[in-house]
Amino acid sequence: KLIDQALSSGVKVAVCSTSNEKAVSAIVSCLLGPERAEKMQIFAGDIVPRKKPNPAIYNLAAQTLGVDPASCVVIEDSAIGLAAAKAAGMKCVVTKSGLSELFCRCQNESPSFFSVTLLKKT
């Protein structure tokens, strides 16, 4: 739903992964459907010299899409991804998982970090 709303509002959506492009494209198409997948650009780890936590993949995405990194919001699932997004100067939302100690550590390290347990439309 979030991706559909972003795309219908003209927001540029991309996928940045440390995996190779073929694998990422297949997963995106399978999970989101080919119609959505066609509307977003894939930036994979095999096109940048250094992988996350280096911000190269996010810097390349912002540059290619012609957007200011400060206006980007990254959805991540790892501490390494969070570090890469922050190093690129982007805002980051980290999905919560079984690694709750990571979130406690991040909250202590960054005053801008907070945990969202429930999102709902009001």
Question: What gap in Å lies between CA 93 and CA 86, rounded to an integer?
Answer: 11
| DSSP secondary structure of 43-87 | EEGGGSSS-TTSTHHHHHHHHHHT--GGG-EEEESSHHHHHHHHH
**CATH number attached to the domain at 2-109:** 3.40.50.1000
16, containing H or E segment: strand 14-17
User: For residue range 79-121, what is the model confidence (pLDDT) as tens digits?
Assistant: 899 999 999 999 999 887 665 455 555 555 554 555 554 555 5
Structure tokens at 92: 């980051």
pLDDT (0 to 100) of residue 96: 72
pLDDT in tens, 34-82: 999 999 999 998 899 999 999 999 999 999 999 999 999 999 988 899 9
Domain boundaries, the chain: 2-109
Q: How far apart are CA 34 and CA 7, in angstroms?
A: 14
The closest alpha carbon to 42, from 63, 28, 56, 59, belongs to 28
Distances (CA, A) of 34 to 2, 28, 61, 76: 16, 8, 21, 22
Residue 19: strand, helix, or coil: coil
